[in-house]
A = this chain, B = another copy of it.
Amino acid sequence: MSQKTRTGHDPKVLVYQSQHPEKFATVLAELGVPNVTTARSTDDVEPDLSDVEIMFGWNIPVEWLRKAPRLRWVQWSGAGVDSVVLKRDQLPPDLQLTRIVHQFSAPMAEYVFTYLLYVVKDVRRQQKAQEQKRWDPFRAPLLAGKHIGVAGLGSIGSEVVRKARAFDMHVSGLSATGRNHHLVDVHYGADEWLKFVEPLDVLVLTLPLTEQTRHVVNARVFDAMKNHAIIVNVGRGALIREADLIPRLAAGRIQAAILDVFEREPLPVDSPLWTLHNVYVSPHMSGPSEVRRTSEFFAENYQRYVRHEPLLGLVDVTRQY
């Protein structure tokens, strides 16, 4: 915890967002957070950083963190902090970095089951039949009894597991720490990917992107999977080596990929992922951040900060999440 707050005045807060930072400022004022200034990521002008003690935002340039001599705490307004922790050698020492936790679990788990059911139930086939006014019943597979594996058992992965239970799926999990291992039928460690994926019908990625997880889902992992498994990625694009995934989707070795995140975002127009018939692309929207809810998270943490209490969502920069 910082020892340096409360120098007699309110710490200066910089809100940094790509769009409408003033909306955050308005909500923060309502929530009793004083001394707030704003910057927009699309502006070229660098704000005065000399007396900023707290930053609240998304994809804040790492060089700004270094240029703010009084900076003590950065609240990221998202769940994944890879863009900053992967440059952790450039961060000032003693900086507290926090991320949003718990807020994205519900929308992201809903996203997973929306598209998983869409694929498994072949809604596309039925919608085509309706377009053609064809009364043509077919037997759709069940989620019940299928085996889902959730890589990453934080708040998002845990919520995916919870919903999978309501669909009577078999549930495996993989995580580096073993946290929440009690939620799954079988738990695997970070060195057990091949054993983990072997029996799965559905693999869901909710992992953070770290040096250890970059391209962790690669040719070796795909080749250990059974035929016609489905992959869902709501974590980070670079968890998957797309160059290994694409030919296996084209060949039908992987039944389908449901991808909300990509190695490059926005997904380049020449990526084959856009057009493969068994790929379901969405534009990194499964866990939308809301001005009010993320501001509430920040305001709660702000009160903890000024009272010298432990912050919520504190990132272990060495662990990278």
Residues of A in contact with B (beta carbons under 8 Å apart): 106-107, 110-111, 113-115, 117-118, 121, 123-124, 126-127, 129-130, 133, 135-140, 142-144, 162-163, 165-168, 265-267, 269, 274-275, 280-285, 288, 290
Contacts and interface: CB of A to CB of B under 8 A. Distances in A.
Given A110-B143, A111-B121, A142-B107, A126 B162 contact: no
Given A110-B144, A135-B267, 10 more contacts: A107-B144, A110-B142, A111-B121, A111-B140, A114-B117, A114-B118, A117-B117, A123-B123, A124-B127, A135-B265
Contacts of A106: 142, 144, 168
B140 A280 contact: no
Each complex incorporates copies of this chain amounting to: 2
Contact of A117 (B110, B266, B274): B110
Contacts of A113: 113, 117
B274 A130 contact: yes
Contacts of A140: 107, 111, 285, 288
A117 B143 CA distance: 15
B269 A126 contact: no
Given A129-B283, A137-B285, A285-B138, A114 B110 contact: no
